[in-house]
Each structure stands twice: as structure tokens, then as C-alpha cells.
Amino acid sequence: EAQVTQNPRYLITVTGKKLTVTCSQNMNHEYMSWYRQDPGLGLRQIYYSMNVEVTDKGDVPEGYKVSRKEKRNFPLILESPSPNQTSLYFCASSYEGSSNQPQHFGDGTRLSIL
């Protein structure tokens, strides 16, 4: 089944403890991205990647890192999480970065930073 898989689905952790949220897609998509969803703010893009080894900042990149060493994986790294990063995170992918391609979303990861 074609899908975008995120892990973990839920995580409660403490301020300053490094964490990684993994994202993997099995559709051979070139384009991958991360979003956070907050009430009243909708979804905001954190980082995106047009292809392997190519990443770019989205609208809210502060406090996050990403890497794209392989086409299928696009992990989101929080080196020193803070409470304002408590949110619902979505990974998405699309066939290519052209603007008319729809994005396929994962199920989301709910992070709580205490």
C-alpha cells in the first residue's frame, strides 16, 4: 500500500532532550516536507526537500533540523526541544516538486514537550 509512515505517533518528553521523528514513503517520491498543525494557525511548513541531499527552509524552521540522505526517508530532528514546539506534526510527499502535484500525508505525530 502506498503510504507515508511517521514514527512515533505520540511522544511526551522534556525540554532539551533531543528527539527525532522519522518519516518514510514508499512511492518513490522526490519531494518531501514537514508541517506543524496548531489551532487557529492551520498547517505551517517547517522544511521541505526537493530531492536527496537538497533541503530548504519553510515558513517556521527555527528549532528544527532535517536530513535527506535517502529518497524514501526525511527525519525531523529537534536538537533541544522547547514547550513551544508542542504540536501535531505531519510529513508529506509528492511525486516531484512541481506545484501542481498533490501531497500525500502521514498520520501525524503528536509531540508534547514538558
Partner 1 sequence: AQRVTQPEKLLSVFKGAPVELKCNYSYSGSPELFWYVQYSRQRLQLLLRHISRESIKGFTADLNKGETSFHLKKPFAQEEDSAMYYCALNDYKLSFGAGTTVTVRA
Report the interface residues with partner 1, using CB under 8 A.
33, 35, 40-45, 48, 50, 58-59, 90, 92, 97-103, 105-108
Whole-number Å distance between alpha carbons of 80 and 50: 26
Is the Cβ of residue 69 or residue 100 nearer to partner 1 in the bound state?
100
Find the shortest distance in angstroms from Cβ 50 to partner 1: 7
Find the shortest distance in angstroms from Cβ 49 to partner 1: 11
| Residue 52: φ, ψ to 5° | -55, 135
Helices (H), 1-114: none
Find the shortest distance in angstroms from Cβ 20 to partner 1: 21
On whether the CB atoms of residues 5 and 25 are closer than 8 A, the answer is yes
